[in-house]
Amino acid sequence: MAPGPVGQSTEQKDDAQTEAVPKKLAKGVVLGPDGKPCRTCTDISSLFAVSKSATSSKSTLPPKPPADCPPDIVALGRSSWTLLHSITATYPTAPSPELQSETKTFIHTFSKLYPCWHCASDFQMWLKEDRNTPRVSSRAEFGQWMCEAHNAVNVKLGKKEFDCNRWEERWKTGWKDGRCD
Ligand SMILES: Cc1cc2nc3c(=O)[nH]c(=O)nc-3n(C[C@H](O)[C@H](O)[C@H](O)COP(=O)(O)OP(=O)(O)OC[C@H]3O[C@@H](n4cnc5c(N)ncnc54)[C@H](O)[C@@H]3O)c2cc1C
């Protein structure tokens, strides 16, 4: 069964899946390829509502689970961007042709392995556009490209775009006002 938002992929479940998926899914919960709620594809507030409704109608559970639980789409995204921007911050100023090639491969592999299937799918589509091909010939270029990639997701989610002139302050040097020193 193809993964999909709730309501689009609830047909054709086998017995095991029918049993595993709570009958009442909260709005916004996204299903994974296995037909079950996909934690890394869903904001935890929605996903937590599922487990609450499946266990008790008057739950005293907090609105968010403890920090040492598996990541939801938000925690996964923040951690991933932290890793990706930090990689650009330490990328060589003059990378070898071999490293440039490996970096492009890394980005494409990352886009296939990203643990939120609908995020991964959109990111792959974005990467396919000629103007979005990874630019990796220097740290400055790669950092700028990563900022643009992140801004594309920000725009999709209706968030404010980040000023890419300041990506290095955010991810390498710290802000010019010295608050990170
Ligand atoms: C490849 C990828 C695709 C994703 N697709 C989706 C999706 O389809 N749907 C979805 O709900 N979530 C998606 N996410 C997660 C989403 O981008 C956010 O990470 C998540 O919503 C949490 O947002 P946040 O507001 O905490 O800040 P984040 O967007 O995680 O940003 C973390 C910090 O990075 C800094 N920052 C913000 N923008 C930029 C930028 N352009 N350049 C440099 N620094 C910046 C800011 O200081 C910000 O606080 C995706 C994540 C990744 C890595």
Both 60 and 132 in a single domain? no
Q: What is the pLDDT of residue 8?
A: 38
Both 166 and 95 in a single domain? yes
The pLDDT > 70 percentage for the chain reads: 76
- Spatial distance between the Cα atoms of 95 and 110, rounded to a whole number of angstroms: 20
- Using the 3D structure, point to which of 12, 38, 70 is the last residue of a domain: 70
Q: Does residue 78 have its Cβ closer than 6 Å to ligand 1?
A: yes
Q: Does residue 127 have its Cβ closer than 6 Å to ligand 1?
A: no
Both 119 and 66 in a single domain? no
Question: Is residue 146 within 8 Å of residue 88, measured between CB atoms?
Answer: yes
- Spatial distance between the Cα atoms of 166 and 147, rounded to a whole number of angstroms: 9
Q: Poorest-confidence range of 21-25, 107-111, 175-179?
A: 21-25
Both 110 and 46 in a single domain? no
For residue 87, give the nearest of 98, 102, 76 by alpha carbon: 102
Residues comprising the chain, all counted: 181
- Using the 3D structure, point to which of 51, 70, 89 is the last residue of a domain: 70
pLDDT tens for 141-163 read: 999 999 999 999 999 999 999 99
Whose CA is closest to atom 43 on ligand 1?
147
pLDDT tens for 71-117 read: 999 999 999 999 999 999 999 999 999 999 999 999 999 999 999 99
Q: 148: burial class by Cβ within 10 Å (0-12, 13-18, 19+)?
A: middle
Number of domains in the chain: 2
Whichever domain contains 133, its CATH number is 1.20.120.310
Within a domain: 99: yes
The larger pLDDT score, comparing residue 38 to residue 64, is at 38
Whose CA is closest to atom 32 on ligand 1?
78
Within a domain: 178: no
DSSP code, position 131: G
Both 78 and 166 in a single domain? yes
Q: Does residue 73 have its Cβ closer than 6 Å to ligand 1?
A: yes
Within a domain: 180: no
Q: Does residue 81 have its Cβ closer than 6 Å to ligand 1?
A: yes
Q: For the whole model, what pTM was predicted?
A: 0.86
- Using the 3D structure, point to which of 27, 47, 70 is the last residue of a domain: 70
For residue 26, give the nearest of 16, 39, 15 by alpha carbon: 39
Q: Which atom of ligand 1 is nearest to the CA of 150?
A: 41
Whole domain around residue 47: which residue ranges?
1-70
Both 58 and 136 in a single domain? no
- Spatial distance between the Cα atoms of 29 and 43, rounded to a whole number of angstroms: 8
Q: Which atom of ligand 1 is nearest to the CA of 164?
A: 42
- Mean residue pLDDT of the chain comes to 84
Whose CA is closest to atom 34 on ligand 1?
81
pLDDT band per the 50, 70, 90 thresholds, residue 138: very high
Both 8 and 80 in a single domain? no
Q: What is the pLDDT of residue 66?
A: 83
The larger pLDDT score, comparing residue 36 to residue 51, is at 36
